[in-house]
């Protein structure tokens, strides 16, 4: 347990209120409960010695392992191959439903399909990021770990507790069992959080029923997709991943289920992404509607409208991010007792960027509302009033320095992307108002929209670089501006855009992979470099395709698919070595994969 697994060497399971990561060696090393943004119970991903883990793996033999999902589901199978035989661990979380609950279940089912194998089950929780002590309660049919604020119940499945040659160790720190499984044998553990019932033996039939019901739920959900284009398997896996990162009680989409996985191994770019960014979730509306998942898009839009408030005392009507229940309070803190993934400290939980001013979020929000409106999801009277007041706020505040989409910590600037998306906010509000006859100060909106347009064209375009730049006081590039043609701000054939794309080709693209910007040339307040940003690579594909470089776009997209994990999952970034880094899996990466695949498939069909 001293070595860290690769970030991409994990499978994601979840129950639509929280999620867990399980590595290829059968280790559950990340699990927070009762919600995505709750303190961890197993946090070995960020500290192998002190974070806690729950491993199920072969004992006393050398083995290789691989992972796959049951097709059309997020049910994870980890297969172990050895000279003694072949065994499997099936991991899943039964769906928790849309009512918030502290009680969550995780099934870990062992089966030997060939030969005879001994398996080790080793459970060592560490509650509250390893800060709380706990006691072990021993029961006739299982065990309960109990801290001051949480409980974890271990219910045995089948005969694992009753093997005649088993090894059984129970201490306050851990429960460890070693038992022999013959071909066809099944057993395992059902974990439960916050259960008030004593442990009990779970029958094999009950465990199989959990597998069947979970499988059927996900396949019914996936059947609602109407996507039949190219790269269907990757698109559907990305859709399920986004669904797994949705908090069902509110419809909120988190950015990632993990915290503080580094953007550079050994570096300090380690952030907590277990929250709902307005930006990420707004992008998801485009991806979900593109596949036919109308209900999910509608629930997010309801969540968005619930967040918009009247601006008071000069504050913005939208915060950058929220907790999954919609509350705005979050404090960034350091877990100084944890070393971080592969020594990448500090470990941060909470996120100080919640207090940033990021003007682009209004454009992304209004763009998602406009897209939904064109798809038949119209806003109510009260929702429109709140939206129009937010648009009025944009009119008053767009022309000021801000913190930007990349949440830099080097001071506010006049970021071009923030201005671009302020233009989008006003433009989309005008479109909706005209299309639906909605009330609003359209003349004022048009005046400010046009002012923004002229300002970007005169101040955002650098004559020396012949490119649109990151902010008005620099000559550095920013991959976020790849969105300029797709949002309709500039024609993809415009010479100003073509020269910008060529500059991005030269400065930010590395064999198809795209850096979001260069921290060395444009300091962002955090030391060190980072990897290429996967969402920007997908945006680059769209920009190439829209600019007429369709064959190059397809090759770039196909190359990007080779960087996924063996399960089809993407983290935030790709390191120089080709390994995935940053929080994992990342909503940005998967929603942009979906949108890019849909748009590229459409353009390829039109070309045929």
| pLDDT tens for each residue of 310-363 | 655 567 899 999 999 999 988 999 999 999 999 999 999 999 999 899 999 999
CA distances 282 to 14, 159, 253, 453, Å, are 22, 48, 9, 22
Per-residue confidence (pLDDT) for residue 518, from 0 to 100: 87
* Least confidently predicted of 14-23, 158-167, 452-461: 158-167
Closest CA to 532 of 234, 260, 263: 263
Q: Say how far residue 26 (Cα) sits from the centre of its chain.
A: 22
Would you call 600 helix, strand, or coil by DSSP? Answer: helix
- For the purposes of burial, counting CB atoms within 10 Å of the CB of 550, is it exposed (0-12), middle (13-18) or buried (19 or more)? middle
Rounded mean pLDDT, 374-391: 94
Q: 151-158 and 53-58 as β-strands: parallel, antiparallel, unpaired? A: unpaired
Cβ(112)–Cβ(57) under 8 Å? no
Beta partners for 67? 78
Residues sharing a CB contact under 8 Å with residue 507, sequence separation 6 or more, in sequence order = 477, 518
Q: Please provide the DSSP assignment of 43-95 as one string.
A: -TTT-TTTS-EEEEEE-SS--EEEEEEPTTS--EEEEEE-SSEEEEEEEE---
- Helix 360-374, helix 294-307: angle, nearest 10: 140
Asked if residue 200 has pLDDT above 70, the reply is: yes
pLDDT of residue 310: 63
Mean pLDDT to the nearest integer, 192-218? 97
What's the confidence (pLDDT) of residue 162? Answer: 45
Contact call for residues 108 and 189 (beta carbons, < 8 A): yes
Q: Could you count the other beta carbons within 10 Å of the beta carbon of residue 92?
A: 27
- What is the third-level CATH fold of 232-607? Glycosyltransferase (1.50.10)
159: confidence class by pLDDT, cuts 50, 70, 90:
low
- With 50 as the cut, is the pLDDT of residue 196 above it? yes
What pLDDT score was predicted for residue 314? 63
Distance of CA 181 to the CA centre of its chain: 37
pLDDT at site 298: 92
> Token pair for residue 512?
């198809």
DSSP string, 109-123: EEEEEEEEEEEEEEE
**Which tokens go with 82?**
């050895």
Residues 6+ apart with CB under 8 A from 588: 255, 280, 283, 534, 535, 572
* E-assigned strand segments in 140-174: 142-147, 151-158, 167-170
Q: Strands, E, within 438-574: which ranges?
A: 461-462, 467-468, 509-510, 513-514, 532-533, 573-574
Kindly list the domain boundaries of the chain, sorted by start residue.
Answer: 10-222, 232-607
Distance CA 605, CA 554 (A): 12
Residue 172: pLDDT over 90: no
pTM of the predicted protein model: 0.96
Closest CA to 580 of 555, 558, 560, 595: 560
Q: How far apart are CA 581 and CA 262, in angstroms?
A: 6
Residue 435: Cβ within 10 Å count: 12
Q: What angle do CA 503, 420, 540 make, to 5 degrees?
A: 40
**Which residue has 């698919």 as its token pair?**
561
Lowest mean pLDDT among 163-172, 295-304, 507-516, 579-588: 163-172
Find out whether 94 and 107 touch, Cβ atoms under 8 Å: yes
Query: Torsions phi, psi of 272, nearest 5?
Result: -95, 120
pLDDT of 316 reads: 87
Highest mean pLDDT among 159-173, 289-303, 447-461: 447-461
Q: Are 215 and 75 in contact (CB under 8 A)?
A: yes
Read off the pLDDT of each residue in 478-492 and give the average, rounded to a whole number: 97
Q: What is the pLDDT of residues 501-553, one digit of tens each?
A: 999 999 999 999 999 998 777 777 777 788 999 999 999 999 999 999 999 99
The CA-CA-CA angle for residues 185, 189, 193, to 5°, reads 165
Third-level CATH fold of 10-222:
Beta-galactosidase; Chain A, domain 5 (2.70.98)
Q: How confident is the model at residue 1 (pLDDT cuts 50, 70, 90)?
A: very low
Does the pLDDT of residue 50 top 80, yes or no?
A: yes
* Closest residue by Cα to residue 503 from 530, 464, 459, 529: 464
Cα(149)–Cα(146) distance, rounded to whole angstroms?
8
User: For residue range 400-418, what is the model confidence (pLDDT) as tens digits?
Assistant: 999 999 988 788 999 999 9
Do the domains 10-222 and 232-607 sit in the same CATH topology, yes or no? no
Is 563 in contact with 512 (CB distance < 8 Å)?
A: no
Say which residues have a Cβ less than 8 Å from residue 423's Cβ, sequence separation at least 6.
363, 449, 452, 453, 456, 489
What is the gyration radius of the CA atoms in the chain, in angstroms? 25
Distance CA 48, CA 40 (A): 13
Give CA separation, 548 vs 235, 558, 594, in Å.
24, 17, 20
Q: Mean pLDDT throughout 296-311?
A: 86
């Amino acid at each position: 347990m001293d070595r860290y697994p690769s970030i991409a060497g994990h499978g994601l399971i979840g129950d639509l209120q929280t999620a867990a990561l399980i590595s290829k060696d059968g280790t559950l090393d990340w699990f927070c409960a009762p919600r995505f943004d709750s303190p961890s119970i197993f946090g070995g991903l960020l500290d192998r010695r002190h974070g806690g883990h729950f491993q199920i793996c072969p004992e006393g033999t050398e083995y290789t392992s691989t992972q796959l999902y049951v097709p059309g589901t997020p049910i994870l199978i980890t297969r172990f191959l050895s000279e003694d035989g072949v065994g499997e661990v099936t991991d899943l979380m039964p769906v928790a439903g849309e009512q918030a609950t502290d009680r969550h279940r995780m099934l870990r089912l062992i089966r030997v399909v060939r030969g005879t194998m001994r398996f080790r089950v080793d459970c060592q929780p560490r509650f509250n990021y390893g800060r709380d002590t706990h006691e072990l309660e021993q029961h006739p049919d299982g065990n309960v770990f109990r801290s001051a604020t949480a409980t974890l119940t271990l219910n045995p499945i089948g005969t694992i507790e009753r093997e005649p040659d088993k090894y059984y160790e129970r201490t306050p720190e851990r429960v460890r069992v070693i038992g022999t499984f013959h071909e066809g044998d099944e057993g395992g553990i059902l974990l439960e959080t916050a259960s008030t019932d004593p442990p009990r033996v779970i029958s094999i039939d009950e465990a199989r029923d959990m597998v069947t019901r979970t499988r059927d739920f996900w396949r019914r959900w996936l059947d609602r997709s109407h996507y039949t284009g190219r790269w269907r398997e990757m698109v559907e896996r990305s859709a399920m991943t986004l669904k797994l990162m949705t908090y069902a009680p509110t419809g909120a989409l988190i950015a990632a289920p993990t915290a503080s996985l580094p953007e550079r191994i050994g570096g300090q770019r380690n952030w907590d992404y277990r929250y709902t960014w307005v930006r990420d979730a707004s992008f998801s509306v485009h991806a979900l509607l593109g596949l036919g998942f109308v209900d999910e898009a509608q629930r997010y839009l309801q969540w968005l409208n619930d967040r918009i408030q009247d601006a008071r005392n000069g504050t913005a009507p939208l915060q950058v991010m929220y907790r999954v229940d919609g509350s705005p309070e979050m404090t960034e803190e350091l877990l100084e007792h944890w070393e971080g993934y592969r020594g990448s400290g500090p470990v941060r939980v909470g996120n100080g960027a919640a207090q940033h001013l990021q003007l682009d979020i209004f454009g992304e929000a209004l763009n998602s509302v406009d897209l939904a409106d064109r798809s038949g999801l119209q806003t109510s009277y009260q929702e429109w009033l709140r939206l129009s007041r937010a648009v009025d706020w944009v009119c008053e505040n767009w022309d000021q320095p801000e913190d930007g989409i990349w949440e830099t910590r080097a001071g506010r600037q006049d970021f071009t992307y923030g201005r671009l998306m302020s233009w989008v906010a006003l433009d989309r509000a005008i479109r909706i108002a005209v299309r639906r006859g909605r009330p609003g100060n359209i003349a004022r909106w048009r005046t400010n929209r046009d002012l923004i347009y002229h300002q970007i064209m005169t101040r955002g375009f650098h004559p020396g670089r012949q490119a649109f730049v990151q902010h008005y006081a620099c000559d550095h590039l920013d991959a976020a501006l790849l969105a300029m043609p797709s949002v309709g701000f500039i024609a993809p054939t415009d010479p100003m855009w073509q020269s910008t794309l060529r500059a991005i080709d030269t400065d930010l693209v590395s064999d198809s992979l795209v850096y979001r910007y260069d921290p060395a040339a444009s300091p962002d307040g955090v030391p060190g470099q980072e990897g290429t940003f996967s969402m920007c690579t997908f945006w680059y594909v769209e920009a190439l395709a829209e600019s007429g470089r369709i064959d190059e776009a397809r090759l770039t997209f196909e190359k990007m698919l080779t960087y996924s994990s063996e399960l089809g999952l993407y983290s935030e970034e790709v390191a120089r070595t080709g390994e995935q880094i940053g929080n994992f899996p990342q909503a940005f990466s998967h929603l942009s994969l979906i949108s890019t695949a849909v748009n590229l498939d459409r353009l390829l069909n039109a070309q045929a």
